[in-house]
Amino acid sequence: MQTNIIESFREILQQGNYYPIYQESLERAFQEMSLIELKTDIDFDDFEEMVCYCRGDIYQTYSFKRFFRKIQKKIDIFERVILLIKCKDKENNNTSDNSLKESNLLPSKIYISLYRNIPKSDIEFLFPNVKVSMTLKDRLILIVPAIATAIPITLKILPQLLLIIGVIVFLSFGPNYVEQLKLRANPEDVKNMTGLLLASLSLLVTLGGFCFKQYSQYQTKHIKFQKQVTETLFCKNIANNSGVFKTLIDDAEEEECKEIILVYYHLLTTNTPLNPKQLDEKIEVWMEENFDTKIDFDINGPLNNLTKIQGKIVRDGEDENKVSEIPLLSYDENGCCQVLSLDDAKQLIDYIWDNLFNYA
C-alpha cells in the first residue's frame, strides 16, 4: 500500500506540472541565508520515505529592517511545495534526537502537506525534525553583554571569593598553607562566621541572578524563534494528508485543461499545418513572448487527450444513429495535426456532455 500510494502521488504531481526537489538540492538550499534568522539542521536518516515536489519558481520583493532602515530584497519563491514523509520505525531509527517525538509523528503513518509561497532558503522549516538554534549574531548579542556584565560582578565578588577560599584552606590545612598561598584568612575571619555566611550568600545570589537573567534572555529568544517558525507554517499551509490529494487532483485536471486549450488554440489560429514537433516549439515560443516564461511543453499528453475526446456532430435532418463519432483532433496524411472548427467543437462537446450519463 505504501508503494502504491507513493507511485500514485508522484504520478498526480507530474500531471499537475510539479517537479521534484531532490535531497542534494534541499541540502544546498539549507546553506543559503534564511528569511527567518535561525541556524537549522535536518537529519534525513530519520525518514524511511521523503518526497518533495514544487511548482512555480518566481521572485517576490520582501522588506527588511536593517540598522533602523528599511531595505527591499528579491527572494526566490516556490509558489507550491508538497512534502511527503514517513518516519523510520523505532528499531530502525538510531537517532537520539527528540524533535520527531515532539512532533507526535507515528512511524506507521505517511504524512503529506501542501504549502504556498515558500522561500527557497526557508524550505527546511517544513520538515518536522528540523533542529533550530541561534545564529552567530544572536549568540554574540547574548554573550557580549554577558561578558561585559560579568567582569564588574567578578571584580566585586573576588575579595569575598578569596576570603571563602582562604577560610577553607585554613580549616583544612592550617595557617601555614594560607600564608604560602597569600590568601586572606586569619583566626578572626574564621571566628566571624556571620560575615563568612553573608559573603557566601551574597556570592550565590549575585551569580544566581546573573545566570537566571541570561537564561531568561535565551528562553525569550528561543520562544521568538519558535513563534516565527509556527507563523510561517500556519499561514502558508494549504492542505494536509487526504486534502492534499483532492487539491492535487484538481490542479492536475486544471493543468491538463490548460494544455488542451493551448494546443487547440494554436491549431485553430495557425495558417500552416503543424506536426507535433512544430506545434510544441510554437507553444513554447508563444509562452515566452507573451508571459516571459520558458517552459518545456509536453505535447504528447494534450494531443492524446484531444484525440480521445470523441463525439457526434448531428446536422439538421440527420439521423443520429447513422452519424459516426469523430475525434476533436485528427492527423492528415502528412502527420500534421488538425482540429474541428470552434462551432463544430462546441457541438461535439455538447453531445458528449448530454450523453455522458444516460440513466434511462
Of 220 and 337, the one with more pLDDT: 337
- Structural domain spans, the chain: 2-133, 137-231, 244-354
Q: Which helix (H) or strand (E) holds 266?
A: helix 242-269
pLDDT at residue 191, as a whole number: 47
CA dihedral 328, 331, 336, 339 (to 10 degrees): -20
**Per residue in 191-212, pLDDT tens?**
454 555 565 566 667 666 766 7
pTM above 0.85, yes or no: no
Work out the widest C-alpha separation in the chain, in whole angstroms. 129
**Which of 52-56, 63-67, 117-121, 317-321 reaches the highest mean pLDDT?**
52-56
Reported confidence tier of residue 234, pLDDT bands at 50, 70, 90: confident
255, 245 Cβ separation under 8 angstroms: no
DSSP 198-257: HHHHHHHHHHHHHHHHHHHHHHHHHHHHHHHHHHHHHHHEEEETHHHHHHHHHHHHHHHH
Q: Which three cell numbers stand for residue 263?
A: 494546443
Count of beta carbons in the 10 Å neighbourhood of residue 11: 11
The pLDDT of 210-226, averaged and rounded, is: 69
Quickly count: other Cβ atoms within 10 Å of residue 266's Cβ. 18
Strands (E), 130-225: 131-133
Average pLDDT value for residue range 76-97: 76
Report phi then psi at 140, rounded to 5: -65, -35
pLDDT for the residue numbered 183: 46
Q: Which helix H or strand E contains 47, and what residues bound it?
A: strand 47-66
Is 190:164 a contact under the CB 8 Å cutoff? no
Q: Render pLDDT for 15-38 as a digit per residue (tens, 0 to 9).
A: 888 999 888 888 777 776 665 556
Q: Please state the rounded mean pLDDT for residues 72-76.
A: 79
Please give the full DSSP string across 73-120, using - where no structure is assigned.
EEEEEEEEEEEEEEEPPGGG------HHHHTT--TT--EEEEEEEEEG
Distance of CA 165 to the CA centre of its chain: 55
CB 178 within 8 A of CB 170: yes
pLDDT for 129 equals 77
Partners of 20 in beta bridges: 53
Q: Given this model, what pLDDT does residue 299 score?
A: 93
CB-based burial, 26-45: b 16+ in 10 Å, e otherwise: beebbeeebebebebebeee
